[in-house]
């Protein structure tokens, strides 16, 4: 499995939201995410490493989690220099 796919395979999104994860590129624990709502049933999930700036975007159904960070697409703001 590619490093990028480790962030988006089935179950990985829910794990990032609930527990966090280490960056599959550099191993840093300084990983963050946001979920952007496109409509009521779908949106985009962004995860990135604050150290090496590797990032991934995946279209996703939102995980059912009360701690999910959700922003409207028009309000999306990602750190500069991310490498998708």
63 found inside a domain: yes
Band of the pLDDT at 39, cuts 50, 70, 90?
Answer: confident
Q: What is the residue-averaged pLDDT of the chain?
A: 84
81 found inside a domain: no
Q: How many domains is the chain built from?
A: 1
84 found inside a domain: no
- 5-29 pLDDT, tens digit each: 666 665 677 778 788 888 989 999 9
Range of the domain at 59: 3-75
Residue 13: per-residue pLDDT: 74
80 found inside a domain: no
Q: From CA 40, how far away is CA 18, in angstroms rounded? A: 21
Summarize the chain as % helix, strand, coil (round to 5): 20, 30, 50
Which pTM does this prediction carry? 0.81
């Amino acid at each position: 499995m590619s490093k990028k796919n480790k962030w988006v395979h089935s179950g990985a999104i829910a794990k990032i939201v609930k527990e966090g994860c280490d960056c599959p590129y550099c191993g840093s624990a300084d990983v963050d995410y946001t979920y952007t709502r496109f409509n009521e049933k779908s949106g985009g999930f962004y995860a990135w490493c604050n150290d090496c700036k590797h990032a991934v975007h995946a279209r996703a159904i939102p995980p059912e989690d009360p701690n999910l960070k959700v922003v409207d697409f028009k309000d999306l703001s990602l750190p500069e220099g991310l490498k998708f």
